[in-house]
Amino acid sequence: MAKDSTKPIDEKGITVQKEEDFPEWYTQVVVKSQLADYAPIKGCMVLRPNGYAIWEKIMHTFDAATKKQGVRNAYFPMFIPESFFHKEAEHAQGFEPEVAWIERKGDSGERYAIRPTSETIITDFFRQWVRSWRDLPLKINQWCSVCRWETQDCKLFIRSREFLWQEGHCLYATEEECHKDTLIFLEEYRKVMEELLAFPVILGRKTEKEKFAGALTTYTIEGFMPDGKALQMGTSHDLGQGFAKAFGVQYLGTDSESHTPWQNSWGISWRSIGAMVMTHSDNKGLVLPPKIAQNQVVIVPISYEQKPEVLVKAKELQCQLYDQGSLLDDREGYTPGWKYNDWELKGIPIRIEIGPKDLEKSQVVLVRRDTGEKKAIPLHEVKQAVQETLETMQKELYQKAKESLQKQTLSVKNWAEFENALKEKKMAFTTFCGDLHCEEEIKEKTSATSRCMPLNNENAPYGSMCFHCGKQAPWNTYFAKNY
């Protein structure tokens, strides 16, 4: 290959091993595959087009699911008056340390916060908009960014001072409807994570200590990363009547009496992209589950400068694979090997190689990004082989991650086993008293926190004792260090 001084100089591959230096490996994968980049504002990041394409798929999938549930999108101001925070005391306490205020103030001198979440301002509009049972349920969602001024260092996708998310806010006439929907939205989150991102999650309920500031009950989907840390991937809060009472929301029932409605809220963020990267990617770079990949196939023609028919056939294949968003890499001045590395770094699920010899045999070589498996495929079977391979890959990536999650979870009965599980960078499944002070002590000693009490399996066997304090333990609970 001729020397080409215009070639990008910094696009070399990943220079550290996932097994050796996980944090550095992760940063390199995210930055070099051009998903995201650090911003000049400390703690903030840019979501680049490769990353935004993933976020768009998450948005479209989840948005369609919520619309089927009768949710409608809206947009509320990014500014929240200070007085709103103080109406719900727990909420204010939970969020105020991380709030960013603006220098501009209201006419009466009132401060404005940049929204860390929008329960307060949305509940205030619920108060204005809801008159009677006819207006309920009222299901609203917004796609926006929020700001939480974290003091810890930024970790791309996982922790940043501004992040993209959606926040759903619904109001109901009855407690039952409210609670039912809280779990329906949790289930929709599970589907996005497991079916789209091929990322297995644990569904559960948060302990008193870990629940959302102002919620009655917080449900969560929890992930576990290869480096032994848990990650909260999304939450759905049953807010009860707390915010509605604080903001004076009332509706006239069919009985012509005033009632206080019930409320939930639920959110997922771009964090899920980080979790997906950590789980599936390898030392060559990004691995994208096919369903989340904007471009599922890249075709690399070989020696087409010598044999133009190769390029003709490659273009034909690209048209055939239009639905898979297939790319054709006919960039001049790069070797096929350089191109393979480049697309492996960027995580395209399938690579199709076609050269003069393949053409003679009427075949292509199909390469899977995740396993590296190579297969010769007759030309007339390419489309079917691609479809089958994409389906298999999606299933196997999930299966592999699921097995890994199971291997990373240890059942423990006492403190010694618990400490050992953490030392081995595992998640501990144990019986727990649920007491706030007990949990605070555990965190102080180990920095581990409860992740959740698993849905459908939250009750500890009769007579269980807390692994830490030894008192009666009503709950099965996951514990782990976390991001």
* Least separation in angstroms between CB 425 and a second copy: 32
Region from 127-135, 168-176, 230-238, 318-326 binding a second copy, contact rule CB under 8 A = 127-135
Region from 118-126, 218-226, 301-309, 448-456 binding a second copy, contact rule CB under 8 A = 118-126
Q: Is 246 in the site for a second copy (CB under 8 A)?
A: no
Q: Is 308 in the site for a second copy (CB under 8 A)?
A: no
Q: Is 306 in the site for a second copy (CB under 8 A)?
A: no
Helix (H, G, I), strand (E, B) or coil at 480: strand
Take residue 292 and report the two structure tokens written for it. Answer: 């989340």
CA dist 149 and 41 (Å) reads: 12
| DSSP 8-state secondary structure symbol assigned to residue 18 | T
Q: Which of 84, 185, 266, 418 binds a second copy (CB under 8 A)?
A: 84
Q: Which of 152, 256, 306, 456 binds a second copy (CB under 8 A)?
A: 256
Contacts with a second copy by CB under 8 A: the residue count is 63
| DSSP 8-state secondary structure symbol assigned to residue 159 | B
Q: Is 59 in the site for a second copy (CB under 8 A)?
A: no
Q: Is 133 in the site for a second copy (CB under 8 A)?
A: yes
| CA distances for 428 relative to 331, 447, 465, 476, angstroms | 50, 13, 15, 10
* Whether the Cβ atoms of residue 411 and residue 303 lie closer than 8 Å to each other: no
Helix (H, G, I), strand (E, B) or coil at 112: strand
Of the candidates 150, 161, 155, the one whose C-alpha atom is nearest the C-alpha of residue 44 is 161
* Least separation in angstroms between CB 44 and a second copy: 4
Give the x/- contact pattern for a second copy in 152-191, rule: CB under 8 A. ----------x-x---------------------------
The pairing of strands 409-411 and 427-432 is parallel
Q: Is 373 in the site for a second copy (CB under 8 A)?
A: no
Q: Which of 101, 165, 338, 340 binds a second copy (CB under 8 A)?
A: 101
* Whether the Cβ atoms of residue 353 and residue 364 lie closer than 8 Å to each other: yes
CA dist 323 and 250 (Å) reads: 50
* Location of structure tokens 């180990």: 446
Take residue 289 and report the two structure tokens written for it. Answer: 């589950």
Q: Residues interacting with a second copy, by CB under 8 A?
A: 5-10, 37, 39-42, 44-49, 51-53, 55-56, 72-81, 84, 100-104, 106-107, 112, 114, 121, 124-125, 128, 131-135, 140, 144-145, 147, 149, 162, 164, 252-254, 256, 331
